[in-house]
Amino acid sequence: MSDERCLYRYSTVLMGSPILLKLPRHDEALASRVFQLIKRYEDLLTVNRASSQVMDINRAAGRHPVAVSRPVYQLIKCAKAASLAQDSAFNLAIGPLVKLWRIGFQGSRVPSGAEIAARLALTRPQDVALDDAAASVFLTQPGMEIDLGAIAKGYIADRVRDYLRQQGTDEALINLGGNVHTLGRWSVGLKKPFAADDALVGVMAVDGQSVVTSGVYERYFEQDGRRWHHILDPRSGYPLDNALQSVTVISADSLDGDIWTTLLYGLGVEKGCAILRQREDIEAIFVTKNRDVILSSQRRFRFSLLDADYRLTD
């Protein structure tokens, strides 16, 4: 493991999140090129600002298709496929519901049942029409909105990994506010849900993998004696409510990690583990509200539990 290495840390804030790059050598110029790369992709994909390619698509909803750059088109195509998978909790067209709840932003509140029903009708992934030849996207219903907030960081983390590799770097860690990607061997901490400090439930040893954690403790608000967090169930329009506190996915690509954290939130521990047993490429760590830590398998990483309040169970 590599904790004793002499490391150089470069940090900034982008996509509303702290960004951290760790390198084994001092290379300020490389760090600044990496941050510029992240910013360029953020500018294409964000829905939290007035202009981006995704915002152009949303503004043309119900009116006309919008041609976008190839990478944005490919990402949307991949997100649509994940949204159409059977029982998928992931939905790229969730935008109208995200905007209604405003979780993590000023003015969040529990909407009425009627408001939710009206918005649900505008979140059908089938209504995202794609044209491969033109690389264009058309939201066929007025009021529809694509939201790539669940996958933008993962997609960008993969682009940073590719860029660093191409620059001849074989040892680096990038943390995009919860999406960790690595080149070489690293130990990555698993955050303790709701802990005020940087307390860890455990730590995992990885080698070149992405580690993505999504948790109900990340962004939420409280109303009517309940906690309402930011991962919505596209079937009900309400935050996903189950036994889970966080899901961590270990995979080669961070985009897969992002999609799978959302899918696994929707599936829960039992169904999720059953599906992951059929897949060599995706592994997960579930943390439940009962403080159980459940590993789907440990082929590509080693997990060590650190916090005695939690227990490893099968």
Show contacts with ligand ADP in window 19-48 (CB under 6 A): none
d(CA 291, CA 286): 10
Shortest distance (Å) from residue 249 CB to Mg ion: 9
**Rounded Cα gap, residues 216 and 219, in angstroms:** 7
Q: How far is Cα 107 from Cα 122, in angstroms, rounded to an integer?
A: 22
Task: Rule CB under 6 A: say whether 262 interacts with ligand ADP.
Answer: yes
Residues 211-230 touching ligand ADP, rule: CB under 6 A, are 214, 218-219, 230
Nearest distance, CB of residue 198 and Mg ion, angstroms:
18
Residue closer to ligand ADP, measured from CB, 167 or 236: 236
Three-state SS for 101? helix
Question: How many whole angstroms from its chain centre is CA 199?
Answer: 21
Q: Cβ distance 199 to 307 under 8 Å?
A: yes
Instruction: State yes or no: residue 150 binds Mg ion (CB under 5 A).
Output: yes
Smallest distance from the beta carbon of 249 to ligand ADP, in angstroms?
11
90 binds ligand ADP, rule: CB under 6 A: yes
3-state helix, strand, coil in the chain (%, to 5): 30, 30, 40
Return the residue of 234, 237, 257, 272 that touches ligand ADP, per CB under 6 A: 234
Residue 72 interacts with, from ligand ADP, Mg ion, none (CB under 5-8 Å by kind): none
Per CB under 5 A, 145 contacts Mg ion: no
**202 near ligand ADP (CB under 6 A):** no
From 110, 111, 101, 98, select the one nearest 147 (Cα to Cα): 98
**Helix, strand, or coil (residue 51):** coil
Q: How far is the CB of 43 from Mg ion (least distance, A)?
A: 18
Within 8 A by CB and 6+ apart from 38, the residues are 14, 15, 19, 156, 160, 176
Is 246 a binding residue for ligand ADP by CB under 6 A? The answer is no
User: Looking at beta carbons only, is 181 or 230 nearer to ligand ADP?
Assistant: 230
147 binds ligand ADP (CB under 6 A): yes
Cα 233 from chain centroid (whole Å): 15
Which one of the spans 88-96, 108-116, 190-198, 289-297 is the region binding ligand ADP (CB under 6 A)?
Answer: 88-96
CA dihedral in degrees (112, 267, 253, 200; nearest 10)? Answer: 90
Question: Measured from the CB of residue 150, what is the shortest distance to Mg ion in angstroms?
Answer: 4
Alpha-carbon distance 46 to 285, whole Å?
28
Residues that bind ligand ADP (CB under 6 A): 89-91, 94, 98, 147, 149-150, 153, 178, 214, 218-219, 230-232, 234, 258, 262
Residues that bind Mg ion (CB under 5 A): 150, 153, 214, 258, 261
